[in-house]
Amino acid sequence: MNSAHSRLRLVRAGIDTYQQPVVYMHRDCHVCRSEGFTALTRVLARSGDREVVATLNVVVDDHLELDVAALSESAWTALWPGPEAWGVFSHPEPPASAPALRAKVFGQRLGETDFLALMRDTVSNRLSDIELTAFVTACAGERLDKEETVALTKAMLAVGERIDWGSGAVLDKHCVGGLPGNRTTPIIVAIVAAAGYRIPKTSSRAITSPAGTADAMEVMAPVALDLEAMRRVVEREGGCIVWGGKVRLSPADDILIRIERPLDFDSDGQLVASVLSKKVAAGSTHVLIDIPIGPTAKVRSSSAAALLEARLLATAQALGLNLSVLRTDGFQPVGYGIGPALEARDVLSVLRNDAAAPRDLRGRALDLAGALLDAAPGAEPGKGRAIASTLLDNGAALRKFMAICEAQGGFTEPGIAPHIRPVFANRTGQIGQIDNRRLAKVAKLAGAPGSAIAGIDSRLRIGDGIKIGEPLFEVHARSPGELEYAFEYASAHPDIFEIGVGQ
């Protein structure tokens, strides 16, 4: 194994490939020749007592010496070689889950042992991105039944860490998504924690949206806390809002999310497994799920919501989790901002009780916080919203939010984009419908969520009047190029806001 033909000196490439370990070798190096390595070959790299399976990228010019292997940031972190370290390279064994993956691709049902093998190979990087894409695609639509959804959820739990908060209720809330600007979570966490309950919130970054809760929260406070840091924050303040990828409560899901993001889809089964695996891993006992319903939301009809709700409840029951579902209006955006910093601005304006704060965001946050407080053990039914409203109005929620931010590493005011340009109405009339998906697309083209200050400011709602030449919304961008890119798309789709005949 340590013969000269399989050894190369290791250097740091300084290339971020996110969660995918990559190794770079010259095409004429002795390892490529002796092992038969070619571009995109999966290779097993060992250094000291560490190893990682990585994807090979082949260098064809003189940027890399023949006796050197360069490691991407992900591969370097996995191996963590010392100075002047050498690596040993070979072909990895085929992933143990290969038969299960092939069976799923061909439409067969999988059992718990199959999903466990798949998730183990996922977190150990034994499956390539191509294989993971095949798995995600094979599970899309209705290709996961309820039993498979439970099995996948349990498998995700088994390959991650879990938190035990001891006795007592641990509350949590999640929105299935698809509604731009619906950033209620930081407000809800602040209210529930101010009410004296534990609410350790782990959130994902955006998958198909211009911002996830972790993206918006990161504008105001650090979210990349490890498990021990998260525990300290919750023990001190009762709640937190952190990125789930750092605490590794469901690391397999974080990898699958990376695959789903460019595909721009996820399925009911994968959504349920993703959400509930993280809730159980975070030690939650009582969870509220928000399902917005609308023609351009993620869940488009009441019948689709009923199917998703049934799958959520069945999986939660199998896991011993107390779950309640609240169906909400998904016909139009919530709040004014769409994008991390713009949504963070709205959150703060609600918490600060600003007169100009978006009323729809405030009302929805109070509805959800009230429902979650009603679901807590020993709560008096129907009193939750009034309690939530009092805690928001008297400043207790704001004080708690600021305390959580400080505990997580310090509070920062959201920034403002240097380039802002309005999109104007091309006719006079009344707003009849709003296309949530295309509106979100404009925000993404402007640079969100990669650029935290990018996105759009959209204040019109269904039923509002508009005159030709008046602004429909503003595009915010970090660079002129991104501003133009988003503006061109918005101009090419004037039906994002459907304007009916004026009254």
The set of catalytic residues is 266
* CA nearest neighbour of 245 among 261, 260, 235, 258: 258
User: Phi and psi at residue 52, in whole multiples of 5°?
Assistant: -155, 145
Backbone φ/ψ region at 87: left (φ over 0), alpha (ψ -120 to 50), beta = beta
The strand pair at 471-477 and 419-424 is best described as antiparallel
CB atoms within 10 A of CB 68: 17
Buried-state track 235-266, b at ≥16 Cβ within 10 A, e below 16:
eebbbbbbbbbbbbbbbbbbbbbbbbbeeeeb
Cis-peptide, bond into residue 340, ω within 30° of zero: no
User: Phi and psi at residue 68, in whole multiples of 5°?
Assistant: -125, 140
- For residue 122, the SS3 value is helix
Tokens of 128: 């390539």
Number of H helices, E strands in the chain: 19, 18
DSSP assignment string, 342-389: HHHHHHHHHHTT-TTS-HHHHHHHHHHHHHHHHHSTT--TT-HHHHHH
CB atoms within 10 A of CB 125: 22
Task: State the DSSP H helix or E strand holding residue 248, giving kind and residue range, or none if neither.
Answer: none
Task: State the DSSP H helix or E strand holding residue 327, giving kind and residue range, or none if neither.
Answer: strand 322-329
DSSP state of 6: G
